Structure 1
Amino acid sequence: MSSGKSTLINSMLGKELLHCANEATTATITRIHNKDQQNNFNGSAYNFEPIKSNEKARLKFLDYKSVIDSETLKKWNADNNINYISLTGNIPSIKNSSKHIVLYDSPGPNNSQDNTHQDLTLNLVSDGRYGMIIYVLNATQIGINDDKLFLSQISQVLKTDKHKNIIFILNKADVLDEEKGEDIEIFVRNIASYLKNIGFINPSIIPVSALSALNARKVLNKEPLTRFERNLLQQNIHNLDDDRLIRASYNISDEVKTISLPNTEKKDMSITIKDGLEISKSKINQLIYFSGIPLLENIINYKFQKTTL
C-alpha cells in the first residue's frame, strides 16, 4: 500500500493515467492490455461477484469509455461497486512479441482496514495466467512493512511453477541519503537477505525512482507539470545524476544492464516547460535512465521475447 505501484505503471505509460493517492484507495484491480500503436486508452469497469475458494471470479459489466483519462479512472476508483478495470492502449516502452503483454495493477495487500485488498491480490497471484510478478517495495518503509506473510504466500505459489519470474522493485530509492550512511548497495543487499529468509532463493532487485521517470517522461510527452512537480524535476536532475541505482541492482545480468543505456543525440535541444524553465532534452533522457525504470522495461521486453507463456 502506497509503495508507488500505480506511479510505476504511469512512469511506463509516460503520463499520469492510473489514479495515485498517498492513502489506500478502493480494492480495485486494473488490467492494462498493451496494444502497440493505439493512440488512446479505452476501457471498461466491472464488479467481481463474490470470490469463493477454488472458484474463478466472474465479472459484471458496469461501464465503458472509448477514451479513458485520469479523471475517469479516479471516478471509477471512488465507486465502491467497481473493483475491476480493464484498459487497452499503448505502453510505449513495452513491445508485444508473439504474445500480447498485459499488466495488472493490484491493490496493496497490507491494508489493515480492508482485507479484500489482500484477497483480491492473492486471488490474482494464485490464478496462474501470468509469467512475471513485479513486487513493489517502498524504500522509505522497509522494516515497518507488514508484508512478510504475503510474500511467504507468493513464494509458495511460485514454487509450484518454475516458469514464473518475480522481480522486486525498490521504489523511492533516490530518497536514501548516502551522507547519512544510507548506502544504496548495502541497503539492497540487506533486502536480498530479508527475501532469501522468506524463501526467495536468489531474488532480483531493482532500485528505482518511478516519480522521477514519470515527471521526466511527462516533459517529453508535453504533459503539464504542477509547480511542485517542476521543482521536484529540477531537484531530481541535480541529485539523480549518476547510475548508482542501476549499479545497486541485485541479481540482474550485465547484458540487460548494458542494453538500457540511453540513446545519445548529436544535437541537443532545450525543452521549455513553464514559467521560463528550460531543461535540455539530454538531461531529461539521462534522468529517465538513471531512474532505473528503463532497466525494468528492458527486463520485461527481454524476458518475454525469450519466453513462451
Structure 2
Amino acid sequence: MVTRRQMSIDAQFALGEILDNDNQRKGKILEICTQIKKVLEKDKGLQDILTKEFGIEILNLNHIQKEIYDSECPIVVAGEVSAGKSSLINLLLGRSLLPVRQLASTSTICRLRNSKDRQIVLTDNDDKQTTKTFSDEKGGMEMFLEEHVGRRSKPHRYKYVDISLPIPILQEHAIIVDTPGVGKNKTGRLFEYLPNAIAFIYVINAGNAGGVENDDWLQQIIVHLTEQQKKGHLHDFKPETTMFVCNKWDQVQSNEQDEVFQFIVDKLKSDWPNFDENLQIFKLSAVQEKELMEKGSTSDNYNNFVSGIRTMVPITLDAKIVRYARKQTFLIEKMTDRILEKISTSQQSMIDKEKRRKDAEDRLQQLDRKHLNKDVMLKTQ
C-alpha cells in the first residue's frame, strides 16, 4: 500500500530538485570567488588600487563566501491562528510531527532542519536551552512536542523550538519556519525571517468567512516590507512570489465556493502588491489531503500547490544568485579595467624608456663625432 509519506514525495521532490540546483549554482559562485581571491593575493598593488577607489567592501570576498555557506534559507509559513499552518507543514513532511492544535496564545517559533540526528532544542524566554535527543521514529518527537508546545502546554514558555531530523529535501541550509499565528504583538516574530525567505506561504482559514474579512495583518506585513526595502534590508524577497493557501476548503459549502474564492481574490488584489490569482493562490484541505494520501492518492488542488512551489521558490533563489553574481561581475570588471590600465601604463613606460635610450644614444653619437672632429683638427695642426 502506498503510504502518506510516499504520496508527499511530489512536494518533497519539487523542493529537493530546486534546492539541489541552487546549491550547484552557489558552488560555481564560490569557485569564481576563489579565483578572484587568488588573482588579488598575487597582486597587492591591484588590491591597493581597488581599495582606494571603491572601498574595502568591494574586496570583502570572505563575507560573500560566508554568506553563501552559512546563511539559512527559510521557507516561512504564516497565517492567522487556527488557519492550519502546522497541518500544512506536516503534509509537506509526510508525517504528523508538529502539534496541529497549539495554544492560541503561543508566540513560539518552530524551526525544522535537516539532520542525520533526531533532536529537539527548546529555548525559553530567558534563553535557557533544553535539549532532547531521540534514537528512532516511534513517535517520541511528536509526544515531546505535544507536551511542550501543544494545546496543554504553558503559554509563552518558549521562544524557539528547533527540530532536527532527517528531512533530505531541505539539504544543508534550508529550514522550514512555522511562525506564530499573526495577531497582536506576534507579527514581529514573522519579520525576523521574511528578509531572507526563499518562500513565503501564507495560510488562510477559508472555512472562517473566507479567512481574510478582518485580516489587517496582510497590510501590516506589506508596510513592514516596504520600510525594510527602503532601508536596503530586503535584498531578495519579492511579495509577488508569496503563495496564499486557502486551507480548510472542505469547510466551504460547495454552493458558496465560487463566491468565497472571489472574495478572497478581491481582498488580496486590494491588499497585496502585484497579486496574481493565476499563480499565487491555492485551494487546499490539509485534513482531506492527509486522508487521500493514506489511501494512495492526491487531489488536483494539492498537485496545483506542488506546481506553485516549482514556480515560485526558484524566483527568490534566482534573485539571491543574481545579487551574488552582480557583486562578482562588478569586481571583475573593475579588476580588468585596472589591469588594462597597468598594462597600458607599462607599455607607455617601455616606449618612453626606448625613446630615452635612443635619445641618449644619439647624444653619445653626437659627442663621439665632436670628439672625432676635434682630434682630426688637432692632428692637422
The two structures have a TM-score, normalised by structure 2, of: 0.50
Write out per-residue CA displacement over residues 162-199 of structure 1, whole angstroms, 9 at most, x where no aligned residue. 62132111111233333x2422xx54343222122224
Rounded to whole Å, the distance in 2 between the matches of 1:305 and 1:121 is 20
| CA displacement, residues 63-121 of structure 1 (integer Å, 9 cap, x when unaligned) | 332355211101121144323101123446x454xx632111011123xxxx4434433
In structure 2, distance between residues paired with 1:117 and 1:299: 29
CA deviation profile, 1:269-293 (whole Å, cap 9, x unmatched): xxxxxxxxxx5xxxx2244865655
Matched, 1:71 2:143: yes
SS of alignment partner, residue 242 of structure 2: strand
Which of the pair is proportionally richer in helix?
2
Report which stretch shifted further, 6-15 or 20-29: 20-29
Matched, 1:215 2:316: no
2:218 aligned residue = 151
TM-superposed deviation, 1:202: 1.7
- Name the residue aligned to 1:44: 121
Q: Select 1:24's aligned residue among 83, 86, 104.
A: 104
- 8 Å CA contact retained: 1:107, 1:120: yes
Q: Which moved more, 1:296-305 or 1:81-90?
A: 296-305
Equivalent position to 1:5, from 79, 85, 91: 85
Partner of 2:204: 137
Aligned to 1:206: 282
Unaligned runs of 5+ in 1: 50-58, 220-278
Q: Which runs of 5+ in 2 are unaligned?
A: 1-80, 322-381
In structure 2, what residue type is equivalent to 1:138?
A: N
Pair 288,72 (structure 1): closer, same or farther in 2 beyond 3 Å: farther
In structure 2, C-alpha distance between the alignment counterparts of 1:143 and 1:213, rounded to whole Å: 20
Q: Secondary structure at the match of 1:44?
A: strand
Say if 2:182 is the partner of 1:109: yes
Change (3 A) 1:296 1:28: farther
What's the offset of the Cα at 1:6? 0.3
Is 1:182 aligned to 2:257, yes or no? Answer: yes
- For residues 148 and 300 of structure 1, do their structure 2 counterparts lie closer, same or farther at Cα, with a shift above 3 Å needed? same
The reply to whether residue 171 of structure 1 matches residue 247 of structure 2 is: yes
Whether 2:175 is the aligned partner of 1:121: answer no
Identity among equivalent pairs (%): 22
Q: Which has the higher contact order (CA 8 A, sep 6+)?
A: 2
Distance apart, 1:294 and its partner CA? 2.9
Distance 2:190 2:316 in 1: 23
1:44 alignment partner AA = V
Q: 1:214 to 1:90 in 2, by over 3 A?
A: farther
Rounded to whole Å, the distance in 2 between the matches of 1:121 and 1:173 is 25
Q: Which amino acid aligns with 2:142?
A: S
Q: How much is the aligned-residue C-alpha RMSD, in angstroms?
A: 3.1
Give the greater-gyration-radius structure (CA). 2
Q: 1:300 to 1:41 in 2, by over 3 A?
A: farther
Q: Do the aligned partners of 1:12 and 1:214 also contact (CA within 8 Å) in 2?
A: no
Counterpart CA distance in 2 for 1:28 and 1:41 is 20
Deviation of 1:201 after TM superposition, in Å, equals 2.0
Task: Tell whether the 8 Å contact from 1:209 to 1:292 is kept in structure 2 after alignment.
Answer: no
